[in-house]
Structure 1
Amino acid sequence: MEKTVAQLAWKHRELLLLFMAAFAFFVVFRYGPLYGVLIAFKDFRVMDGIWGSSWVGFKHFERLFGDANFYLILKNTLLLNLYLIVFAFPAPIVLALLLNEVRHRVFQRAIQTTMYLPHFVSWVIMAGLVVYFLSPTTGVVNYAIQSLGGKPIFFMGHKEYFRSVVVLSAILKDIGWSSIIYFAALAGVNPELHDSAKVDGASRWQRVVHINLPSIMPTVAIMFILTLGGFLQSNFEQIVNLLNPVTYATGDVIDTYVYRVGLQQFQYSYTTAIGLFKSAVGLVLILSANVAVRKLSKGESGLW
């Protein structure tokens, strides 16, 4: 006898409760506020409200694409996120592959725990530590440079170093936490593959390259697609806590620009247009990346 929907719902009530909590979160904080994008096509006034403000069509988008400052900020955002993909994205994969080869489990877990800890430190504290460590007078990094015969460098006072500081601090903070999903993927690798490779005389490096890495590639592909979807989405807390007037030329990104112009100068419609442009670019990138990954993997990987 087939169970009714009500019976199935009651049987799986715990799972439904968990689902409803997540569903409510997305409805309230993700889908609910979407009507606010209307102000990108209006001259929004707080006193008139969203619906009462007058329509202006693509006025704010014309201003956006005609603003020379925006192209500089877009360039900074693209370069910074490109560096993060090139250097920060592979870092947790490499860490997971390396630690997976550690046979002493106590040592492995100690390293993992140590690498996880920075993730739980806020960027306010983390940025303060970064600035302190890079200080030309009291910083550990400059002590090391001077001990090797070099001269101290004021890293936070030179715009050329800003992107490197952002990328390295991002890796330091999140490499451990981001590696968790790859550890989980490696745990699912069939041990019989390694046993067969050992019988055939494969070295440990060969087993990592030809067994472990291909086995986690579907997970890597999905994470890469999701990362591309947020390509213009910089870590605002990190940037705003590290940024200073000297480094604006290379460090001012879309998120900090939106904060400065939108919230501090009250240009809500203009910055909403910027946000809508950023979301549209993210959607195009995530769709394109998914198509490319599916073609390269012959339909075996991808989000859908």
Structure 2
Amino acid sequence: MAKNENTKSLLLMSFPFIIWLLIFKYVPIAGWVMAFQDYKPAFGLFNQEWVGFAHFRDLFQEPMFYRALENTLGMGILGLVFGTISAIGFALLLNELRFITMKKWTQTISYLPHFVSWVIVANIVITMLSQDGIVNNLLTGIGIVDRPISFMAEPNLFWGIVTAADVWKETGWNAIIYLAAMAGVDPQLYEAAKVDGASRWRQMWHITLPSIRPVIIVLLILNIGNLINIGFEKQMLLGNNIVAEKALVIDMYALEYGIGMFRYSFGTAIGIFKSVISVILILICNGFAKRIGEGRVF
């Protein structure tokens, strides 16, 4: 009886979150019908001219879409790889700190960039990479380059700049879950490794990383599912007319060539495309996780 009462209490506690999920995540899916209409706001959602898959055909015939897709996947993959490596590496090093006060201060400071607006971060990056900025002063000062580099005017450097800025901003925040997983590792494993003469590097490689492997797999699957949903704020704020070709991503494409041009149905078609690709990526990664022995996550 007590178990049933606890179950009812938990269900009641989860009820507001279920309502929130339905209202803000599932009800808006009804708007997907716009992708199959020639939507005009004046006529209401269900009083439109139906055009079938015309907007999807237009989408796949536009060269600009493929350029935006390439940029999105490129920056998404770079952010996933370097973001995951930096978060795991930072968590490992932080976990090895034995001075608790220093560990807490370092952890707190590393979180701060996550709460800083991309407007501020973009201004910091642009200032640091300007021709008279600290980066060029350092490079010319130690003789690596003869003259300042125009970082923000080099299209081929844009993906790297965005990735570096994103890693700096989010590494501390992304390391939280890995640190929590490391806290659950059995201390007796480390004691046994010390007895066998394993160094701290060996302990990290053979004990810590294998112990948090399931967490790494789950987070990778979740992040890969969002590979195409990288937003457009950092690209828009760090971009300029010179690097516009490399800065165009799917979300910015939907904003400028969909909503910005009052092509609401076209913008909706882009949103559906993103959702379908995200689901496919999650299913592929989930199947891969099963094959390497982690079991299904979803």
Query: Above 0.5 in TM-score?
Result: yes
TM-superposed deviation, 1:4? 9.2
Contact 1:45 1:53 survives alignment (8 Å): yes
Structure 1 position 285 matched with structure 2 position 281: yes
Number of the residue aligned with 1:89: 84
Deviation of the 1:202 alpha carbon = 1.2
Is the CA contact 2:71–2:247 (under 8 Å) kept in the aligned structure 1?
yes
Whole-Å separation in 2 of the counterparts to 1:83 and 1:142: 24
Matches within 5 A, 1:248-259: 248-259=244-255
Aligned position for 2:136? 142
1:3 Cα deviation after fit: 5.3
Give aligned-pair identity as a percent: 39
Aligned residues: 296
Using the alignment, how far apart are the partners of 2:22 and 2:85 within structure 1?
33
- Between the aligned partners of 1:224 and 1:158, the Cα distance in structure 2 is 31
Amino acid at match of 2:137: Y
CA contact (8 A) 1:218 1:302 kept: no
1:246 is paired with a residue whose SS is coil
1:21 aligned partner: 16
Q: Deviations over 1:86-107 (max 9, x none)?
A: 2122210110011111111111
Paired letter, 2:283: L
| 2:155 maps to 1:159 | yes
1:278 positional shift: 1.0
From 33, 36, 44, the equivalent of 1:41 is 36
Output aligned runs, 1:228-267, within 5 Å: 228-267=224-263
How far apart in 2 are the matches of 1:89 and 1:235?
18
1:261–1:99 distance in 2 versus 1, CA, 3 Å: same
Mapping of 1:150-189 within 5 angstroms?
A: 150=145, 151-189=147-185
For the structure 1 residues 25 and 128, does the alpha-carbon distance in structure 2 shift closer, same or farther, using more than 3 Å as the test?
farther
| Structure 2: runs of 5+ lacking an equivalent | none
| Residue of structure 2 equivalent to 1:63 | 58
RMSD over aligned CA atoms reads 1.6
Name segments (4+ residues, structure 1) moved above 6 Å.
none
With normalisation by structure 1, the TM-score equals 0.93
Gaps of 5+ in 1: none
Query: 1:303 maps to which residue?
Result: 297
What amino acid is aligned across from residue 54 of structure 2 in structure 1? Answer: K
Cα separation, partners in 2 of 1:132 and 1:302, compared to 1, 3 Å: farther
* DSSP-derived class of the 2:52 partner: coil
- What TM-score do you get using the length of structure 2 for normalisation? 0.95
Counterpart for residue 199 of structure 1 = 195
User: What's the CA shift string for 1:184-210, capped at 9, x where partnerless?
Assistant: 000000001111111111111111001
State how far apart, in whole Å, the 2-side matches of 1:289 and 1:194 are: 32
1:102: which partner in 2?
97
Structure 1 pair 22/270, CA: closer, same or farther in 2 (3 Å)? same
